[in-house]
Amino acid sequence: MRVVDSVSVLIELIEVSIHCILYARKIYPEGIFELKKKYNVPVHISIYPKLNSYINGTLSAVKSLLKLKKLCKLDVCFYNKIGVAVERFVFNIRNVELELNLSDFSNLRDPYLIKLEQMLRAFCLKLTVCDSLLKPLPSSCTFQIHLHTTETTSIEIQKDTEEFPLIPSEKKDTILTSPAIVPLRSIDCEHLNLEIYAEEGNKTEDPDLFTPSPLI
């Protein structure tokens, strides 16, 4: 029996996406990234140990939440130098089939995963050019990854996240004033149903919110 592990597929996609986003938004020097191929697409992946440790620790928690079907959204949020959220990339996870039997061809739209691979490739390609769709970030930006789940569930997975404990976000850390929505890509198949979009602060609300980054 052929079975696809959709959680692992989604974890890899989120991991690659986070690296692509961080490279595209230029908050780190280009030298900490190296070019690799994922889904037959060249993407930039971080080789900086501290950054990778943070991403991998987050993904461990994501895996636990996905297995419980308790992860609603994940976002990569950027903050200016005074700690105000100015932009975020949101992964809206609508459905993940934990295991899908690929042996029953008659009930599957994509039994050989060809369309899924095409969707993953298109997803990555869109992220590599997302910088052209967004305003430059201010200089000295930082970022955080937020996982949207319930307090009960975060307690439930504590044993799985002892080395990388989840910290509840304060409301002020998640508020983005008058965001403009920039749709990026969606995936809809038997295995996964999710969309990713960007939210960015409104320039007209605060003229100093976006200033050209010296890295651009």
Sequence letter at residue 129:
V
Question: Of residues 205 and 88, which shows the higher confidence score?
Answer: 88
SS3 18: helix
* H-type alpha helices, 26-108: 49-67
Q: What is the pLDDT of residue 2?
A: 44
What rounded mean pLDDT belongs to the chain? 81
Selected residue with higher pLDDT from 149 and 24: 24
Chain-centroid distance of CA 104 in Å reads 31
Q: State the Cα–Cα distance between residues 199 and 196, nearest whole angstrom.
A: 10
- What is the side-by-side order of every strand in the sheet holding 192-200? 142-148, 73-79, 85-96, 192-200, 180-188
Give the integer Cα–Cα distance in Å for 124 and 34: 16
Residues 6+ apart with CB under 8 A from 174: 77, 85, 146
- Which pLDDT band holds residue 164 (cuts at 50, 70, 90)? low
- Torsion sign, CA atoms 25, 26, 27, 31: positive
pLDDT in tens, 19-39: 999 999 999 999 999 999 998
DSSP string, 168-209: PPPHHHH--SSPEEEEEEEEESSSEEEEEEEEE--TTT-TTS
Nearest CA-CA partner of 116 in 36, 198, 8? 8
pLDDT computed for residue 173 by the predictor = 75
| Residue 79 reports pLDDT greater than 50 | yes
The predicted model scores a pTM of: 0.83
* pLDDT for the residue 169: 75
What pLDDT, in 10s, does the model give residues 10-24?
A: 899 899 999 999 999
Alpha-carbon 156 to chain mean position: 23
pLDDT of residue 162: 61
pLDDT reported for residue 192: 80
pLDDT at 165: 64
- Is residue 112 predicted with pLDDT exceeding 50? no
Residue 4, pLDDT above cutoff 80? no
Contact assessment for residue 135 and residue 210, using Cβ atoms and an 8 Å cutoff: yes
Q: How close are the terminal C-alpha atoms of the chain, in Å? A: 50
Residues making up the chain, counted from first to last: 216
